[in-house]
Amino acid sequence: MQTIDPKKISVPHLFGYLTGAVGPRPIAFASTIDTQGRVNLAPFSFFNVFGANPPILVFSPSRSGRDNSTKNTLDNVLEVPETTINMVDYAMVQQMSLASTAYPKGVNEFVKAGLTELASESVQPPRVAESPVQFECKVIEVKPLGTEGGAGNLVICEIVKIHLKEEVLDTNGAIDPLKIDQVARMGGNWYSRANQGLFEVPKPITQLGIGIDQIPEAIRLSTVLTGNDLGMLGNVEQLPTSEAIVEFVSKHPEIQKLMLSGDQNKLHKIAQKYLVEQNVNNAWKVLLAKL
């Protein structure tokens, strides 16, 4: 057995051990707002429920291990001590991941991730309409746990309102664990899905995805592509060149035929198959070949 002194290894190395060992972890998809009314949306897996009377949720936006900067979420709750915490199901996991991108302050991740703002009743930050369970919360304390990179900041929240989608409830009105289809974080790029096992979602750490808002409308409004599909498409920094698209199409007669027939749905289904294989570049080539 290995024995490790946390003080003798790097913070990223320690972070890897902690997140690899402590899991699966629920995900707090937190919406906040600053004094200028700018909305921010970001996921945090250092999160859980810590009481029912009063009902308390706690999550922790840690300081960056790279440059010791603070998250926009933390800055916002210090300015406006309110948040909504939205639970993440499998149908929105790719969009949630895209929202974790380090966009500059003032960029609305609802827009970038293609998610819908839903007005809250008791707090200012909006809810995520796609989320199966949405908590409106007042922030009662923010407790910093350190001043160096990697240090956590406990955001202690009291739930003031709960919103449940009817489709995740059983016949007794309780939340059905199969219907809610939650996902949770593991170490690295790994997630878990209830009763479905593990799967990977590459974390957008070093790149800024173009966002779903930059996807051409004919693709964005597809009746075939799902929110997860769009999340994967929006998590690229640049699109394939026209030369690469032409070369790709020249090698795929079936795509040429569909382009001539104008069958957009079938093209989108081919692109979707590439997305299932995690081949986002080829999916984009198929989709842009029609435009």
Q: What is the distance between the alpha carbons of residues 71 and 32, in angstroms, rounded to a whole number? A: 11
pLDDT, tens digit, for every residue of 195-223? 787 777 877 766 788 999 999 999 999 99
Torsion of CA 198, 268, 202, 127, to 10 degrees: -90
pLDDT of residue 64: 84
Please state which of the ranges 54-63, 185-194, 198-207, 224-233 shows the lowest mean pLDDT.
Answer: 198-207
Q: What is the distance between the alpha carbons of residues 22 and 132, in angstroms, rounded to a whole number? A: 25
pLDDT band at 291 (very low <50, low <70, confident <90, very high): low
Q: What percent of the chain has pLDDT over 90?
A: 79
Query: CATH 2.30.110.10 in the chain, residues?
Result: 6-200
Mean pLDDT of the chain, nearest integer? 93
Residue among 105, 98, 131, 119 nearest 214 (CA)? 98
Residue among 240, 243, 255, 253 nearest 285 (CA)? 240
CATH topology of domain 6-200: Pnp Oxidase; Chain A (2.30.110)
Q: How many residues does the chain have?
A: 291
Q: What is the distance between the alpha carbons of residues 202 and 98, in angstroms, rounded to a whole number? A: 10
Mean pLDDT of the 249-271 span: 90
pLDDT of residue 207: 72
